[in-house]
Structure 1
Amino acid sequence: MMSTTPISGPAPFSRSTKFNDLPDDIKKTFESIDSHIQGRIQISNELKQRKMGEEAIKGQELIRELHRELLGVSSVIQSDSLFAKDLKAKTEQAVQDTIVATNIVEGFKNPHQSAAYLKNHASFPLEFFTRVTQEMQERLQWFKNTIEQIERKLSASASQSQNTPQAISSTLQTQHAIFVSLAARTAAVDAEVQKVKTLYTQLWRAKTGSMRDPFNELDRGSGGEFGMESLQVK
């Protein structure tokens, strides 16, 4: 560092003094100042080469992209959480239904020992099938809404004067995914219907002692003993 002590006497150099003629301590001071200036210039040149402005813009874009991804992840997590809760509720309901159905079958097999089961759960068949019917109606409504969305999408695409190959491909892929989802859900509904039919058949056969199929038109005939009233306990 340069000394701040006032210098007495004549000045150590003038405008015409050459660098080599300066005292050593003043030479070192000037060399230090020049080195500091050159260092700052070098840093400035390096920053210019790195295009710091573009890096800042890229950083902003990366932050925006990360924010969008975080929103997407948050949405997926919320969707998975709702799905898990729904699955948990359905599993608990299925376990409860199985327990009640088992008790009813046991009541039919051993009416003297387990007659209380039949009395306590006399309304279970109606409640069970009513609940399953409502769930199926909700799914069918979802199917209807989805199909209507597809129709609106097709109508909007048809009304456009120009469609790029990319847009057509994207639309077809989306429609294919929706139809695959519909097919999977339809298969799931059909599987549940088959389970309901099997359970009802078992309950009806246990109650009536008949091996006929209550869902077979040839077995049904014109009698009314296949209805829900045949499972009611007096």
Structure 2
Amino acid sequence: MKTRIKEYGVGELARLSGVTVRTLHHYDAIGLLRPTHVAANGYRLYGRDELLRLQEILFYRAFGMSLAEIADVLDGEAKALLRLRAHRNKLAAQAAKTADLLATLDRTIATLTNEADMQDQDLYTPFDAATQTGYEDWLIETYGPDMAAKIAVSKEAVAEMPDGIAGLMDRLRESEAQLFGAFNEGVVAGDRQLVPMLDKHRALMADFWGDACDPNAYVGLANMYLAHPDFVARYERLAPRFSQWLPAAMKAYAAEISA
């Protein structure tokens, strides 16, 4: 005896998925989610494949994608399993960023309520997606459209690293903590004892960018630290004048290795 494949009417699917009937009608109208077939009485009927497609649509909607973007993904050449695995990787990265944000917020709140003492290096707050997008827009506006391609290369390079952005941020905290320690000890910006620390910092920037960080590029980064108010505020939270000292140290170092 042949097993009958269960089909759902539009009302049943709406109740099952939490999506409104009106939304399902709209998805049908734009070709995003067609019913398996339409019965003689005019009822839309949906089978297993359509249920899975709707689930995938809802995954992408929750991620903030537009319906047009979702249609492009679903109608592309990639198979569903590959699409879902790629999407899972994106969500996992986002979850890691959220976890970092929550951990930093908890430490800050504990410090402000005198329940704990927050160390200087712990002030490095992870950036959320909206903030990161704002920085990218600022870079493109400041340095021109070629910067968009460089940002894309950087993202690809970071995505291919075993520890991803979290690992790079750990290395950044360590590198900048060393430089902050030198500043606190009164080391002047052009002192040669900073060279090993700045070698490490510049190499880290190359890993972030997925490209060489030559002296000119390093000077450009120093200028960004000086020009963008978020970076100025970030370094001034550590200590007054550190936002000036670090770019000065970077520029002196770049001049030395250029010579």
After TM superposition, the score normalised by the length of structure 2 is 0.25
Q: Which has the larger radius of gyration?
A: 1
